[in-house]
C-alpha cells in the first residue's frame, strides 16, 4: 500500500448542489480541493475521531468527524474502494471505518439529535436525514412547532426552503419549554447573522466599485456589514474565498478585491466580488474597540489596538486577520510601461488584467478570476478593428471562453513570455513548434521566435501589394472612355470581371479587341427591369352578410378569458394568448370534443344564414362595386398609356440616359415605337405594341402605373 490514496470526481454537497473535486488521503492529512472554487479543505490526521462508510445517492460516501466538532462528507466512491480505504485508515489514522446504513422507511416520527454543527433525525438507531446547521438562515418558533429556513444556492436546480418540526408539549426535567430549548440548540450553531454587541472597528465612506457606491464598513467578529445610503449587505467571513491587493496602472490608486462564494445578492443581481478603491496618499489612524489583552488573545499579534498608516494597508491588514486568508498580490510580471497590469477591454468595458502567480484577474466590470488549473488553452488573436492591438483569448476546461480585447501591441512580448513560463497551452504557436531544439513549454529566453510578429509582417506585405495593385487600377480608370470601351466594362457581379481588367492593363491590339466584342455584347450596363405584376384588387367587405363562425379554440377562449384574468391578475393581452394556448394543449379529448361540437353547430347556422341571405338578394352589392371600379380603372390606364405615348413622341423620358449607353438594339426599338404610334388601331393592339416596343425602363413604369 502506498503513502497516499487519491480519488477524482469526488463530490461535496454545498447548500443543495454537488461540487466535484479531488480527494487525497495521506499519512499526515486528508485534503480535498474543489474544482469549482479551488477551495481546499485540509483535515490533519490526528484530529480525525470518527469515520463512517455509507450508501448515498452518488454511490458510496465517507463521513468524517473531528475532535474540534467539524463534520466533512465526501460522496462518489465505488463499492470496491471500501477495503483499501478501510485498511489505509486503520494503518495510518488508527480509526476504524465502520459501515452505517441510512433509514429508508419513510417515517416522519423519530428523534432529533444535535451532534456538533449538525442536526440528525434518526428513526431507531439509523439516521433518516441530516441538516448542516450552518445552512440555516432563520429559526422561528410556534406553539408546538419549530420552523427552519435555509440559505438558497443559485447553482442548485431544486432548493429546500424550510423544514418544520413538531415538538411534543412535555416539559423537561428542569421545567423548560422543549420548543425553546430545541430552537436555542439550532440558533447556537446556525448561520444566522445578528448584529449583537459593538463592532470591532468602523471604516467610514469607503469607495466601492461593486456594488457601486460609498459604504460604511463595520467589522464584527463573525461578519462584515456594508451600510450604504440605499442598501445594506452582511457578509459572513466563512463566505470569503480570497483577498487581492492590486496596484492601479496610474500608481496612485489601489484595488482591494474580496472574492465571495456564495455571492451577495441584490434582487436578481449577484456580486461575486467586493471591490474597494483607495488612493495611496490617504492615511488613517485606527483604534480597535477591544482592550489590549483581547486583541492579543484573539489576533495573536496580527493586529494592534492602535494602528496608523495608509488606509488600504489598514483595511487589508484587518481583513486578513479576521478572515484568516492570505492576500494575493501581483508577482514578477511587468508590462511594457513597467506596470504590473495590462489595459484591455472585456465585454465592451475597459479594465485592467493582472497576470498573477496562479491565475488571471480582471477588474472591474465585470470582475473575472481564472485559475491556471482551470484553463484549457490561451490564444493570441489579431485585433478585429486595427493591427495596433491584439486579443487575448482564454478557454476553460468547462468550455467557457473569455476574450480580452484591445491590448496594445507592445504588451504582446511580455504577455507571451509570461504565459510560456507558466506552461499554459498556447493555441496558435505556429512555426514555433517545428523549430529544432525547442520544447513545447520551453523558456522564453531560449525561444527567440515570435510567431505573432512574423504573421503581422506577412499581413503587412500582403497589404502593400494590394495597395500597389490599387494604384495601377487607378491609372487605367483615368483613361476610361465610356464611348469607346462600353462593352469591355464588367459589372461587379460579372464572373469575368478579372479578365476584362487584365486585358485593359496588358494593352491588347485593336484587332483582338474587335474579335472579343461580339462575345461580350449580351453584357449591358443598363439592367433590365422586370415587369411588375398588376396589383390584386382588394375585396370589398359586405357589411350586411352574416359573420363567419368561430373555431373551437376561439369559442373556448371567449368562454374562459375572464377566468384566466382572475387566476393571473395583471397579465397582459399577449400573455393571456400564450397562457390560453398552453391550457388548450393540456385540455382533455372529452372537453375538446364538446367545443368542437359547438363550432360545428355554429358553422351549420352560418351556412344556413348565408343561404337565406343570398336568396333574399344579398351579396350583390359588393360584386357590383368591384365591377364599377374595374371599369373606371381601365379608363384611367388607357389615359395613362396614351399620355406616355405623347411623351415618347416629344423625346421625353423620366430615366435619362447618355448617348454612350444607348445600344443599337434600343434605338431600333424606339424607331419601331414611333412608327407604331402613328397607326390608328384598337386599344388592345396599341397595348400589345407598346409592350413590345418600349425600352425596359418604360415597361416597368407603365406596369407600376
What pLDDT score was predicted for residue 536?
Answer: 59
Q: Is the pTM of this model over 0.85?
A: no
Q: Which is more confident, 190 or 150? A: 150
Question: Who has greater pLDDT, 176 or 576?
Answer: 576
**pLDDT tens for each residue of 11-23:** 888 777 788 899 9
Q: Is the pLDDT of residue 26 over 80?
A: yes
Q: Tell me the CA end-to-end span of the chain in Å, nearest whole number.
A: 96
The pLDDT of residue 561 is 86
- Cell (9 digits) for 521: 455584347
- Packing angle of the helix pair 664-678, 683-693 (nearest 10 deg): 170
Q: Strand 269-279 and strand 118-123: pairing?
A: unpaired
Kindly state the percentage of the chain with pLDDT values over 90: 15
Contact 63, 54 (CB under 8 A): yes
Q: Higher pLDDT residue, 305 or 2?
A: 305
Q: Give every CB contact of residue 256 below 8 A, 6+ residues apart in sequence.
A: 243, 244, 245, 246, 275, 276, 277, 278, 312, 315, 316, 319
Q: What is the pLDDT of residues 590-641, one digit of tens each?
A: 888 888 989 999 999 889 888 888 888 776 555 544 444 444 444 444 444 4
pLDDT in tens, 527-582: 555 566 666 566 667 777 888 888 988 888 888 888 888 888 778 888 888 888 88
Residue 671: band (very low, low, confident or very high) from pLDDT cuts 50, 70, 90? very low
Rounded to whole angstroms, how far apart are CA atoms 574 and 580?
10
- Enter the C-alpha cell of residue 390: 491584439
Handedness of CA 635, 641, 647, 649 (dihedral sign): negative
Would you tell me the crossing angle of helices 620-650 and 696-704 to the nearest 10 degrees? 150
- Give me the chain's average pLDDT, please: 75
186 vs 22: CA distance, rounded Å: 32
What are 72-130's pLDDT values in tens digits? 889 999 988 999 999 988 888 888 888 888 888 888 888 888 887 888 888 888 888 88
Distance (Å, whole) CA 703 – CA 705: 5
**Phi (first) and psi of residue 326, to 5 degrees:** -75, 150
> Is 360 strand, coil or helix?
strand
What is the distance between the alpha carbons of residues 142 and 133, in angstroms, rounded to a whole number?
19
- The burial of 259, by beta-carbon neighbours within 10 Å (0-12 exposed, 13-18 middle, 19 or more buried), is given as buried
Q: Which residue has the higher pLDDT, 179 or 173?
A: 179
* Chain segment 435-481, per-residue pLDDT in tens: 333 333 333 333 344 444 555 566 666 666 665 554 444 443 443 44
Sign of CA dihedral 241, 242, 243, 248: negative
Segment 199-213, tens digit of pLDDT: 889 999 999 998 889
Which residues partner with 392 through β-bridges? 380, 404
pLDDT band at residue 404 under the 50/70/90 scheme: very high
| Gap between the Cα atoms of 360 and 356, Å rounded | 6
Task: Specify the DSSP class assigned to residue 426.
Answer: B
Q: How is 364-391 classified by DSSP, letter by letter? A: SSS-EEEEGGGEEEEEEEE-SS-TTEEE
Task: Please tell me whether residue 71 adopts helix, strand or coil conformation.
Answer: strand
Alpha helices in 221-263 (DSSP H): none
- pLDDT surpassing 60 at residue 225: yes
Amino acid at each position: 500500500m502506498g503513502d497516499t490514496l487519491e480519488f477524482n470526481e469526488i463530490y461535496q454537497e454545498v447548500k443543495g448542489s454537488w461540487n466535484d473535486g479531488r480527494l487525497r488521503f495521506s499519512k499526515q492529512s486528508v485534503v480535498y480541493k474543489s474544482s469549482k472554487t479551488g477551495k481546499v479543505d485540509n483535515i490533519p490526521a490526528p484530529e480525525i475521531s470518527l469515520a463512517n462508510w455509507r450508501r448515498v445517492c452518488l454511490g458510496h460516501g465517507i463521513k468524517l468527524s473531528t475532535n474540534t466538532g467539524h463534520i466533512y462528507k465526501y460522496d462518489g466512491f465505488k463499492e470496491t474502494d471500501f477495503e483499501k480505504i478501510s485498511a489505509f485508515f486503520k494503518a495510518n489514522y488508527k480509526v476504524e471505518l465502520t459501515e452505517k446504513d441510512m433509514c429508508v422507511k419513510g417515517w416522519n416520527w423519530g428523534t432529533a439529535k444535535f451532534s456538533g454543527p449538525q442536526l440528525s433525525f434518526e428513526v431507531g438507531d439509523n439516521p433518516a436525514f441530516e441538516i448542516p446547521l450552518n445552512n440555516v438562515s432563520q429559526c422561528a418558533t410556534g406553539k408546538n412547532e419549530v420552523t427552519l429556513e435555509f440559505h438558497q444556492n443559485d447553482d442548485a436546480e431544486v432548493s429546500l426552503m424550510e423544514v418544520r418540526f413538531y415538538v411534543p408539549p412535555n416539559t423537561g426535567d428542569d421545567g423548560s419549554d422543549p420548543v425553546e430549548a430545541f430552537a436555542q440548540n439550532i440558533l447556537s450553531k446556525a448561520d444566522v447573522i445578528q448584529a449583537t454587541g459593538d463592532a470591532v472597528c468602523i471604516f467610514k465612506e469607503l469607495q466601492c466599485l461593486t456594488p457601486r457606491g460609498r459604504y460604511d464598513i463595520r467589522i464584527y467578529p463573525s461578519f462584515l456589514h456594508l451600510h450604504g445610503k440605499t442598501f445594506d449587505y452582511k457578509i459572513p467571513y466563512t463566505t470569503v474565498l480570497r483577498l487581492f491587493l492590486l496596484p492601479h496602472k496610474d500608481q496612485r490608486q489601489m484595488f482591494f478585491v474580496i472574492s465571495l462564494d456564495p455571492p451577495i445578492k441584490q434582487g436578481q443581481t449577484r456580486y461575486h466580488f467586493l471591490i474597494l478603491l483607495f488612493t495611496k496618499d490617504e492615511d488613517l489612524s485606527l483604534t480597535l474597540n477591544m482592550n489590549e489583552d483581547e486583541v492579543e488573545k484573539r489576533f495573536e499579534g496580527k493586529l494592534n489596538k492602535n494602528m496608523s498608516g495608509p488606509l488600504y494597508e489598514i483595511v487589508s491588514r484587518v481583513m486578513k486577520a479576521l478572515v484568516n486568508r492570505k492576500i494575493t498580490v501581483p508577482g514578477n510580471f511587468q508590462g511594457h510601461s513597467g506596470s504590473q497590469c495590462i489595459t484591455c477591454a472585456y465585454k465592451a468595458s475597459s479594465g485592467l488584467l493582472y497576470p498573477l502567480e496562479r491565475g488571471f484577474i480582471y477588474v472591474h466590470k465585470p470582475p473575472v478570476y481564472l485559475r491556471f488549473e482551470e484553463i484549457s488553452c490561451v490564444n493570441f488573436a489579431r485585433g478585429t478593428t486595427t493591427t495596433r492591438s491584439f486579443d487575448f483569448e482564454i478557454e476553460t476546461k468547462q468550455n467557457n471562453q473569455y476574450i480580452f480585447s484591445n491590448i496594445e501591441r507592445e504588451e504582446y512580448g511580455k504577455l507571451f513570455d509570461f504565459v510560456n513560463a507558466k506552461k499554459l497551452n498556447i493555441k496558435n504557436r505556429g512555426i514555433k513548434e517545428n523549430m529544432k531544439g525547442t520544447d513545447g513549454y520551453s523558456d522564453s529566453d531560449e525561444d527567440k521566435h515570435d510567431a505573432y510578429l512574423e504573421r503581422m509582417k506577412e499581413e503587412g506585405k500582403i497589404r502593400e501589394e494590394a495597395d500597389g495593385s490599387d494604384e495601377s487600377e487607378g491609372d487605367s480608370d483615368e483613361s476610361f472612355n465610356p464611348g469607346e470601351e462600353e462593352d469591355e466594362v464588367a459589372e461587379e457581379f460579372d464572373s469575368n470581371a478579372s479578365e476584362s481588367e487584365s486585358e485593359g492593363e496588358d494593352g491588347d491590339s485593336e484587332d483582338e479587341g474587335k474579335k472579343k466584342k461580339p462575345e461580350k455584347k449580351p453584357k449591358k450596363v443598363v439592367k433590365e427591369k422586370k415587369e411588375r405584376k398588376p396589383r390584386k384588387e382588394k375585396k370589398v367587405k359586405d357589411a350586411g352578410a352574416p359573420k363567419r363562425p368561430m373555431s373551437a379554440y376561439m369559442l373556448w377562449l371567449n368562454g374562459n378569458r375572464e377566468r384566466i384574468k382572475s387566476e393571473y391578475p395583471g397579465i397582459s393581452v399577449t400573455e393571456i394568448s400564450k397562457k390560453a394556448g398552453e391550457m388548450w394543449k393540456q385540455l382533455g379529448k372529452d372537453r375538446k370534443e364538446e367545443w368542437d361540437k359547438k363550432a360545428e353547430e355554429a358553422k351549420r347556422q352560418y351556412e344556413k344564414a348565408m343561404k337565406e341571405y343570398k336568396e333574399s338578394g344579398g351579396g350583390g352589392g359588393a360584386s357590383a362595386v368591384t365591377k364599377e371600379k374595374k371599369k373606371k380603372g381601365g379608363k384611367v390606364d388607357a389615359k395613362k398609356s396614351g399620355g406616355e405615348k405623347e411623351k415618347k413622341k416629344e423625346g421625353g423620358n423620366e430615366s435619362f440616359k447618355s448617348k454612350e449607353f444607348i445600344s443599337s438594339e434600343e434605338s431600333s426599338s424606339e424607331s419601331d415605337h414611333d412608327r407604331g404610334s402613328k397607326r390608328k388601331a384598337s386599344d388592345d393592339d396599341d397595348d400589345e405594341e407598346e409592350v413590345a416596343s418600349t425600352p425596359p425602363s418604360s415597361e416597368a413604369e407603365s406596369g407600376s402605373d
